[in-house]
Amino acid sequence: MYAYPVRAGWVGADGITLARGLRPDAARKATIALLDSVYALTMLDTHVILRDAGGVWRTASMLTMTTHIRPDDVEQATIAIPGVSAAGRAIATAVITAFYGITVTRWAEDKRDVDETTAVVSEDAAALLADENEERYQEDLGRAWFLLANLPFVSHVCVAPRALLASDPAAIAGAVERLNAAKSTGQERGRELRRDLSKGSSIDRETLTETLADQTYTLDDDALDGLVELAKRTGLGVTREKIRGAAVRVTNPTPTHWFQQNIILIEGGIDR
């Protein structure tokens, strides 16, 4: 919802960079950056979490696991995770054994087919494509996390440098306003957005509509608790105090620093 309006030319793109697989080293150069939530948690010594923007999922997400039989009947399996994000891997680590009872014999980075010994985790557009083999089972891992932890899955977090927040908060506020303006444009033109994304990714439009309808875009207390719980269950080594202490909201004054902004957005397989 953030990236597509920029990519489609619906909003001005000056100062905005769309980057695939955005990593912390590149994100540190930006006024604000929207990136993978697990990567964001590695930046908290120098950056704050902006609660004003993000990607939050509850009963639907763009992260699925495909198995050859019902997942609760699978005793053990190799889990293939090629190209899956750090946040997606963290969710898979947290739920595959704890929720489904599957013993993970190996995490495989290469592409594999689903069979008696292998389950495949997919993300973004690939996660929403129906499997041609109707005998297989596709499970939403973001939903599994929500049912397991009773907390949302935060896939993306917006960060900003602590030093810039202290010296020029209006620059950050203005950048957040632009980011949220892009999101609002996407929501206002939702029918066009869903049509274009559905055609471009060959995803069933109803499935896409239902999935996007579940996503929210700010970090409320439950979302922050979801980050805390994910860090705890996957051994990320980031404490509740550190995450909570880094989370701030910025005001939205009339932006006067747009010409100085450098906004970087992670660009996923469908949209971010």
For residue 272, pLDDT beyond 60: no
Helical spans, DSSP H, in the chain: 3-7, 24-27, 37-41, 86-95, 125-128, 141-149, 162-167, 169-188, 190-201, 205-214, 221-233, 240-246
Q: Which residue has the higher pLDDT, 29 or 264?
A: 29
For residue 37, pLDDT beyond 50: yes
3-state secondary structure of 97: coil
Using CA atoms in the order 29, 34, 38, 43, what is the torsion angle rounded to 10 degrees?
30
CATH of 17-59+152-266, one of 3.40.190.10, 3.40.50.970, 3.30.360.10, 2.40.30.10: 3.40.190.10
User: Are both 17-59+152-266 and 63-149 of the same fold?
Assistant: yes
- Tokens describing residue 126: 């690939």
In the CATH scheme, what architecture does the domain 63-149 have? 3-Layer(aba) Sandwich (3.40)
pLDDT at 259: 42
Average pLDDT, the chain: 92
pLDDT in tens, 239-259: 999 999 999 999 654 444 444
- Tokens describing residue 247: 């989370």
Distances (CA, A) of 232 to 3, 15, 57, 93, 238: 30, 36, 19, 12, 8
- Ordered by start, the domain boundaries in the chain are 17-59+152-266, 63-149
For residue 123, pLDDT beyond 90: yes
pLDDT in tens, 205-224: 999 999 999 999 999 999 99
pLDDT in tens, 39-48: 999 999 999 9
Residue range 79-87: average pLDDT?
97
The single-letter code of the amino acid at 265 is L
Q: Residue 135's Cα: distance from chain center in Å?
A: 29
For residue 260, pLDDT beyond 60: no
